[in-house]
Amino acid sequence: MSKVRLATVWLDGCSGCHMSFLDMDERLLDLAGRIELVYSPLVDYKEYPENVDVVLVEGSISSEEDLHKIKKIRERSKILVSLGDCAVTGNVPAMRNAFKTGDVLRRVYVENVSVPSPTPNQVVPALLPRVCPVHEVVPVDVFVPGCPPSADTIFFTLTELVEGRRPDLTGRTRFGA
Amino acid sequence: MNPAAPDVKTLRIDGVDVSARADQTVLEAAREKGLSIPTLCHLDGLSDVGACRLCLVEVKGTSKLMPACVTRVEEGMEVTTQSDRLLKYRRMILELLFAERNHVCSVCVANGHCDLQWLGQAHGLTHVQFPYRYPKLSVDASHMRFAVDHNRCILCTRCVRVCDEVEGAHTWDVMGRGIESSVITDLQQPWGESDTCTSCGKCVQVCPTGALFEKGRARSVVKDRDFLPYLAMMREGKR
């Protein structure tokens, strides 16, 4: 049986979902026999590969880079999983949506610092006017709410997907869990 | 016919024969039989207003869905409380509630003790298909003990009803129309400056979400609603 090609992606989130992923502890060893980790912030591949079977996406779509990445990820992946509340709802990153992007940047780089610094506009990607959940930008196959989803929830989701089933998460997790 | 005998109606709910007094609602009749209908704005001990529409049921003979909490029982009525169509609409209602204001569960004082949150979970809600509105709403923390966060309010009006019907103060009311609606204290004055508020805290206890909460707690404790049916029962007994 060929291994499932798994990728994990970190967009605009706190990496808590990835911490929860690592919290699967020794169960990661069970999974390791059945998956091949082809891309992740936990490993050192630079380019998102082709023919990914399952991708776990943490974080909301907040910058032009996120938008560019998620489109490429969608094209190159069979099953896209929105992992955690940021990917599923926008969550904390989306709290800036009640304000204009310029006001948010001014608050961070001018009003709230003792030594005002120029707002970065090179090298770092530009913020989108509005943070949005992943499924507002590309189709999503599986939604796993939670902040973060528990290691049990992630393990259940992955084992179901590896077995070729769609995980039924009813009763296992919720927004803010 | 004995004039003192209660007017009893017989109906069927989910195929179960049910008899109920003529002044009872479909919701009351169903719950007395142990049949569950999801509710959000309803609370035992308060009047019903049919604000949230979660208790919508199908009644044979009409294509309209009826809110069980404000629909009186009728002789020969045939009611269905669970169907794919109802589940679809109930989910849609919950999704619209989540999309309307800023319900950021992860940083809400009611996380883990929220009626909206657990109803979402109970209905298998894994995401919201509607675009979130992200309105800019205020938090009024001017009261000494309590605060209101309009970001989390679903306009169920439980606070309005408990303040009027049980406490008798009528500090809370609703202002505005449609999407601009908002709960207010007195004539939209800061809560802390309200002349009518008795600081009893009943509104905080009945609030289904994190909209009304007690200050000084990072996580709100589980809200206590048992006092309501008890108060209602004791007052009826006195009459």
Q: Is B130 on the interface with A (CB under 8 A)?
A: no
Pairing type for strands B56-59 and B65-67 reads antiparallel
Contact B210, B152 (CB under 8 A): yes
| Facing residue for A176 by CB, picked from B108, B129, B134 | B108
Nearest residue on chain A to B103, alpha-carbon basis: A91
Nearest residue on chain A to B122, alpha-carbon basis: A171
Domains of chain A, start order? 4-94+131-162 (3.40.50.700)
Please provide the CATH number assigned to the domain covering B104-238.
3.30.70.20
For residue range B35-44, what is the model confidence (pLDDT) as tens digits? Answer: 999 999 999 9
What CA–CA distance (Å, rounded) separates B199 from B201? 5
Which CA distances in Å does B202 have to A73, B46, B104, B169, B223? 50, 12, 24, 11, 10
Neighboring chain B residues of A132 at a CB cutoff of 8 Å: 131-132
Residue, of A148 and B237, whose pLDDT is higher: A148
pTM for the whole thing? 0.93
| Fold of the domain spanning B8-82 | Ubiquitin-like (UB roll) (3.10.20)
- Give the length of chain B: 239
For residue range B95-121, what is the model confidence (pLDDT) as tens digits? Answer: 999 999 999 999 999 999 999 999 999
Residue, of B145 and A116, whose pLDDT is higher: B145
Nearest residue on chain B to A175, alpha-carbon basis: B105
| Facing residue for A95 by CB, picked from B104, B111, B112 | B104
For residue range A156-165, what is the model confidence (pLDDT) as tens digits? Answer: 999 999 999 9
Residues of chain B with CATH 3.30.70.20: 104-238
Residues of chain B with CATH 3.10.20.740: 8-82
* ipTM confidence: 0.92
Do the Cβ atoms of B124 and A143 come within 8 Å? no
Neighboring chain A residues of B99 at a CB cutoff of 8 Å: none
For residue range A103-149, what is the model confidence (pLDDT) as tens digits? Answer: 999 998 889 888 877 888 888 999 999 999 999 999 999 999 999 99
pLDDT at B1 over 60: no
pLDDT band of B3, cuts 50, 70, 90: low
Residue, of A89 and B236, whose pLDDT is higher: A89
